[in-house]
Amino acid sequence: MKSPSTDWARRRLGAVLGVLILGTVACSEAAPDPGPRFEDETTGGVVREVSCMQHQSQPPGTRYTDNEIRRTGETLALLRYYTANGTKSYCDGNGPTRIDRQWVDIYLRLGADRENVATLLEEG
């Protein structure tokens, strides 16, 4: 015959294992995709001079819009790019796309100077 303390210890061990398993499963869920990184035409993180801008291929995601997950380095790359190049035209001769405008909006929401992208705001 089992003693009540052995029975209690087994139930407690089972409960602890259950909590550990649930915690492991919950923590191992993949975080939602924060979206693409800004395509800033850098080489190894070094900003290089560009004669014209390339269009962005994907819209910004939460990595730029959510204060909880925003990373300074990624944000600074976006700010640096438009500050240095925002008055230049696009290489294909067209104005900004809808996606480009979303990136410019992020730039402005971050508090950057509107003058740096004024021509992009006039186009389209």
The series of mean pLDDT values per 10 residues for the chain, 124 residues long, is 66 67 61 81 68 94 91 90 93 96 96 94 75
Backbone angles phi, psi at 64, to 5 degrees: -110, -15
CB 81 within 8 A of CB 38: yes
Same domain, 120 and 77: yes
Instruction: Evaluate whether 38 touches 60 at the Cβ level (below 8 Å).
Output: yes
Q: Are residues 15 and 62 in the same domain?
A: no
For residue 41, give the DSSP letter: -
pTM above 0.75, yes or no: no
pLDDT for the residue numbered 12: 75
- Sign of the Cα torsion 91, 59, 100, 116 reads negative
Q: Could you give the number of structural domains in the chain?
A: 2
Residues 47 and 71 in one domain: yes
Same domain, yes or no, for 55 and 94? yes
Residues 63 and 79 in one domain: yes
Instruction: Check whether residue 20 and residue 46 sit in a common domain.
Output: no
54, 39 Cβ separation under 8 angstroms: yes
pLDDT at 16: 63
24 with 53, same domain: the answer is: no
**Domain around 21:** 1-30
